């Protein structure tokens, strides 16, 4: 079975703190893609990153960084020096060849609240 687990339901931090959102996935496939989406209060899901299963290089984009570790089936997301505008629900998602419908399998989401 394919599954994405985001164990942190809610995280609250004070502005400028660093915060890491955890994502653990399960799949029998060797070829798959992992995604992170942000959903601010406005409702729209905003694509943040896509990573394929053959590329374990970590990625940094401004204050955002992602750590992909196949050995632990994790794809964690870190926000450095968090800002109030980072407050949102963050979803990790998986897509693979095993599921021929190419569906996005979403985790349950982590609600991040950044307080001023």
List residues binding another protein (CB under 8 A): 32-33, 35, 37, 42-47, 50, 52, 91, 95-97, 101-104, 106-109, 111
Q: Which residues contact 62 (CB under 8 A, 6 or more apart)?
A: none
Minimum CB distance to another protein smaller for 33 or for 64: 33
| Contact of 90 with 38, CB cutoff 8 Å | yes
Radius of gyration of the chain (CA): 14
Minimum CB distance to another protein smaller for 42 or for 116: 42
CB 29, min distance to another protein, A: 10
CB 67, min distance to another protein, A: 20
Minimum CB distance to another protein smaller for 18 or for 55: 55
CB 53, min distance to another protein, A: 10
Burial label for 67, CB within 10 Å (0-12, 13-18, 19+), is: middle
Helix (H, G, I), strand (E, B) or coil at 72: helix
């Amino acid at each position: 079975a394919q599954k994405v687990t985001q164990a942190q339901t809610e995280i609250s931090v004070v502005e400028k703190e660093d915060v890491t959102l955890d994502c653990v996935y399960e799949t029998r496939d060797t070829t798959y893609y992992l995604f992170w989406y942000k959903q601010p209060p406005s409702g729209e899901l905003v694509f943040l990153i896509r990573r394929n299963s053959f590329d374990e290089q970590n990625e940094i984009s401004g204050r955002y960084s992602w750590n992909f570790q196949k050995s632990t089936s994790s794809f964690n997301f870190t926000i450095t020096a968090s800002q109030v505008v980072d407050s949102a629900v963050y979803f990790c998602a998986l897509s693979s060849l095993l599921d021929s419908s190419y569906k996005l399998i979403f985790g349950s989401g982590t609600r991040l609240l950044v307080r001023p």
